[in-house]
Amino acid sequence: MAPAVVVVGAGVIGAAVTYHLARRGARVHCVDRADRPAAGTTEAGFATATAYRRFPKAYFELNQAGIAEHAALAGDSAPWWHRTGTVAWTDDESFAGYLAQLAEWGCPVERYAADGTSVVFPASGPVAFLPSEGWIDAVAFTRHLLDRAVAHGATLALNAEVTSVSGGVGLADGRRIEADVVVNAGGSAADEIGALAGARPFLGPPRRSLIAHLLVDGDPLSCILRAPEVSIRPDGPGRVVLRSDRVDRGLPPRSGTPDPEFVKDLLDRAARVVPSLGTATVRKASVVDARCARDELPSVGSLSAVPGYYEAVASAGVTLAPLFGKALAARIVDGEPDALVDVFTPDRFEAAETS
């Protein structure tokens, strides 16, 4: 008989796992303590499908496969998938070497003819175009996956906090859902859920990021930009999203509403790349705390020490969700291995703790 599975978390990863399990015939229940899907990191992130600057090679290949899975799921067109490509350059001399490595790894990468209409490109040095990449409306994508999962027989319970994990899950309101398998897709809360199952902790400390959503005149960008000081992407008509590792490094230790000086710093950096953004209106700016595995790589698959317990956690969860969903469903329902995904086994943290 098809296994009964509880997926804890209705973010983009939990939704993808739920969808693929339901398609394979599992009896699957997705539960989330929030009052809506995608309420965790999924609705707060930058949401590009990218393999840019992903190391080591196995992780780059995983992200490339994630992008391909998005394209396959979206088919000819899907409202959440925007295959715009990424234009990238840096201010360090190693960039040409990095582009050569990308090409060697089989990544489609082109030299970008920087004609500089609305973007200020560097005076010298290569500018690359990665045509297969894109950005995703992560909330719409998550909702779509859950709708499709429910159409395949899955159930979704919101306002349903998991407070125990054993032979299924117990919820804060006293209900129980019996299951053969529990998948921890709890994102930044994965250690809390894992502890309920008797699993070891594996997350690193929270990483803080400032994300700004802008209203702009027209559509100044046709693709994702990765500039040295800032990343910028389109977000639908008249909208743009910004973030910057360099700004994030200086953020004070609190999430929520950012100090205006950091928002201004982010905007200034963006306006040096796309001058028209200097007059944009900030629609929303927030500081997000998110946690991932302490080695910053995914933890996906079963944990040998806890029978029936699986993890699906990643720092590039938007890119990887559909791939993880497909691989975990194949593993849980039909016992099929996945050479790309299985490298990132949750067992590696167990081994590190006992050695």
Ligand X SMILES: Cc1cc2nc3c(=O)[nH]c(=O)nc-3n(C[C@H](O)[C@H](O)[C@H](O)COP(=O)(O)OP(=O)(O)OC[C@H]3O[C@@H](n4cnc5c(N)ncnc54)[C@H](O)[C@@H]3O)c2cc1C
Q: Indicate whether 234 belongs to the interface with ligand X (CB under 6 A).
A: no
Task: State the Cα–Cα distance between residues 279 and 276, nearest whole angstrom.
Answer: 6
Q: Indicate whether 187 belongs to the interface with ligand X (CB under 6 A).
A: yes
Residue of 6, 7, 14, 24 that binds ligand X (CB under 6 A): 14
The count of other CB atoms within 10 Å of the CB of residue 93 is 8
Residue 201 near residue 188, CB atoms below 8 Å: no
Q: For ligand X, give the closer residue by CB, 115 or 191.
A: 191
Bond before 322 cis per omega within 30 degrees: no
Using CA atoms of 183, 152, 142, 129 in order, give the dihedral in degrees to the nearest 10: 100
Q: Closest distance between ligand X and the C-beta of residue 70, in Å?
A: 10
Q: Indicate whether 345 belongs to the interface with ligand X (CB under 6 A).
A: no
Residue 22 near residue 153, CB atoms below 8 Å: yes
Q: Residues touching ligand X: how many (CB under 6 A)?
A: 41
Q: Closest distance between ligand X and the C-beta of residue 354, in Å?
A: 26
Q: Indicate whether 290 belongs to the interface with ligand X (CB under 6 A).
A: yes
Q: Closest distance between ligand X and the C-beta of residue 49, in Å?
A: 6
Residue of 39, 114, 251, 343 that binds ligand X (CB under 6 A): 39
Q: Which stretch binds ligand X (CB under 6 A): 27-35, 198-206, 273-281, 329-337?
A: 27-35
The strand pair at 4-8 and 181-184 is best described as parallel
Residue 242 near residue 263, CB atoms below 8 Å: no
Using CA atoms of 183, 185, 190, 194 in order, give the dihedral in degrees to the nearest 10: 0
User: Residue 330's closest CA among 11, 10, 16, 9?
Assistant: 16
Q: Which stretch binds ligand X (CB under 6 A): 119-127, 260-268, 311-319, 345-353?
A: 311-319
Q: Indicate whether 162 belongs to the interface with ligand X (CB under 6 A).
A: yes
Q: Which of residues 75-134 bind ligand X (CB under 6 A)?
A: none
Q: Which residues bind ligand X (CB under 6 A)?
A: 8-14, 31-34, 39-42, 44-48, 50, 161-162, 185-189, 193, 209, 211, 243, 288, 290, 313-319
